[in-house]
Amino acid sequence: MSLPGFTVDVDHNPYLSAGGRDVSAIVTVTASGEPGAGPVAPPDPGGSAEVIMIDCSGSMDSPRTKMIEARAATSAAIDVLHDGVWFAIIQGTSLARHVYPPDGTMAMADPRTRAEAKHAVAGLRANGGTAIGEWLRLARQVFATSPATLRHAILLTDGKNQHEAPEKLDAAIRLCEGYFSCDCRGVGTDWEVSEVRRISTGLLGTVDIVPDPAGLAADFEQMTRGALQKQLPDVMLRVWTPQRAAVKFVKQVAPAIDDLTARRAGTGPQAGDYPTGSWAPGESRDYHVGIEVAAADLGQEMLAARISLVATPPSGSAASTGEVLGQGLVRVTWTEDEELSTRISAGVAHYTGQAELAAAIADGLEAHKRGDEDVATARLGKAVRLAHEAGNEDTARLLSKVVDVVDEATGTVRLKKKVDAADEMALDTRSVKTVRVKKG
């Protein structure tokens, strides 16, 4: 069965000055098809699978609305599952327990199984501690009982991972990497953003705060619908360079910043694969790729990199390299024309600024936590200026809840005397979200 294709557009300055070695490109990858519409013949015969992990530790009863709304949100997500989707529900405390199906397998969604699952969820009660690594391990075991290869999980927590060593959580994340994706949500303000972000980053998902438990149902519905739109699992971004060049970094920069550099898997001479997870029809993402080349003579042209989207071959397949679904080329020419060689592509400039914005927010919030108001003011002021320059209105709004903005163009701000914890955590979780570069 043929797989959907991808278009790969490369935005970079193709000219280097005499002795120039650094090449920076923004690669826009777009899956074929209309957004929100699945293919006529789904390429994955195994179908989709969904696991929902619900924090049922004792703190979920304080206030009681957290547990009540978590049950309602899980039921709302179950209602979204269309017939034929594999699914399971896991209760998370200091242990992990099968809620539905109770035998540790996955059920196929239909009117009967959806009703049974919602009945089981209605019986969930808050009691116990928190060991998220156990939840992830059980989710992996459960996923393995179905034939689905499009595997997605939702993880909800309200507190810190207090009943498990950090190394155990990290080991669980590594165990699950590449096997399923996971969107993580923290309800309330007593959980650690950095801790939950480790999970979402490792499992190619998202992290966000739901400050009011009443917002859980809508968020769970949206995450589940988004997961079910995915049609193509395990797509890799493959970067090939000639012998006189090497990859410096590969980062996703839209819709959010995610550094993939350390996740390279070698796939042959001068080539490496970077995970991108699953894709929906019409979905588009941007990647920032940095290449270092050996300097060449003026007027010489060079293929600095070939960037491909590759479908991972199914387990047990005789194929070893995967099917190429789309490709783009990064070419450079050395010139003595300074007007050409000193140009910076709009995409590179835009996303470099977006990365600086995320770093400024992280530095500013960290300084604020340790009581260094001067550094916090300077860094968050820089973030306000960068958000203004990039037209990132969502981030600008989040910043305005943490600082009083005197002049956004210059980044002149004052720290607010009192900052709501939920506002500070929202800025932290969403600081890596970016706005797309404006074409033309």
We report the CATH number of the domain holding residue 116 as 3.40.50.410
Q: Does 74 share its domain with 188?
A: yes
Q: Is residue 249 part of a domain?
A: yes
SS3 324: strand
Q: Does 273 share its domain with 204?
A: no
Range of the domain at 393: 346-430
Confidence (pLDDT) at 37: 56
Which of these three, 290, 321, 339, is where a domain ends?
339
Element (H, E) at 389: helix 373-390
Confidence (pLDDT) at 46: 72
Q: Is residue 243 part of a domain?
A: yes
**What distances in angstroms separate CA 72 from CA 57, 82, 83, 354, one per listed residue?**
17, 18, 20, 37
d(Cα 173, Cα 186) in Å, to the nearest integer?
A: 17
Helices (H), 253-372: 338-341, 346-369
The DSSP letter of residue 33 is S
Confidence (pLDDT) at 317: 47
**What distances in angstroms separate CA 408 from CA 238, 355, 376, 420, one per listed residue?**
40, 18, 16, 21
Q: Does 61 share its domain with 203?
A: yes
Q: Does 382 share its domain with 409?
A: yes
Q: Does 289 share its domain with 181?
A: no
d(Cα 299, Cα 389) in Å, to the nearest integer?
A: 36
Q: Is residue 439 part of a domain?
A: no
Q: Does 245 share its domain with 208?
A: no
Cβ partners under 8 Å of residue 89, min gap 6: 51, 52, 54, 74, 78, 98, 99, 100, 117, 120, 121
SS3 298: coil
**What distances in angstroms separate CA 258 from CA 95, 204, 332, one per listed residue?**
30, 9, 26
Q: Does 61 share its domain with 33?
A: no
Confidence (pLDDT) at 159: 95
Which of these three, 323, 339, 355, is where a domain ends?
339
Q: Is residue 297 part of a domain?
A: yes
Q: Does 71 share its domain with 21?
A: no
**Are the beta carbons of 14 and 332 closer than 8 angstroms?**
yes
Q: Does 138 share its domain with 99?
A: yes
The structural domain count of the chain equals 3
Burial class (CB in 10 A: 0-12, 13-18, 19+), 440: exposed
- How do 181-187 and 150-157 pair as beta strands? parallel
Q: Is residue 32 part of a domain?
A: yes
- How do 86-92 and 323-334 pair as beta strands? unpaired
Reading across the β-sheet that carries 284-293, which strands appear in turn? 6-12, 22-31, 284-293, 245-254, 258-259
Q: Is residue 440 part of a domain?
A: no
Confidence (pLDDT) at 40: 38
Q: Does 218 share its domain with 279?
A: no
| Polymer length in residues for the chain | 440
CATH number, domain with residue 402:
1.20.120.1690
For the chain, list residues with pLDDT below 70: 1-3, 36-45, 313-321, 439-440
Which of these three, 339, 367, 396, is where a domain ends?
339
Confidence (pLDDT) at 320: 55
Confidence (pLDDT) at 95: 97
Q: Is residue 437 part of a domain?
A: no
Q: Does 109 share its domain with 146?
A: yes
d(Cα 17, Cα 375) in Å, to the nearest integer?
A: 37
Q: Is residue 374 part of a domain?
A: yes
CATH number, domain with residue 240:
2.60.40.3670
**Are the beta carbons of 130 and 57 closer than 8 angstroms?**
yes
Amino acid at 377: T
Q: Does 213 share its domain with 275?
A: no
Confidence (pLDDT) at 155: 98
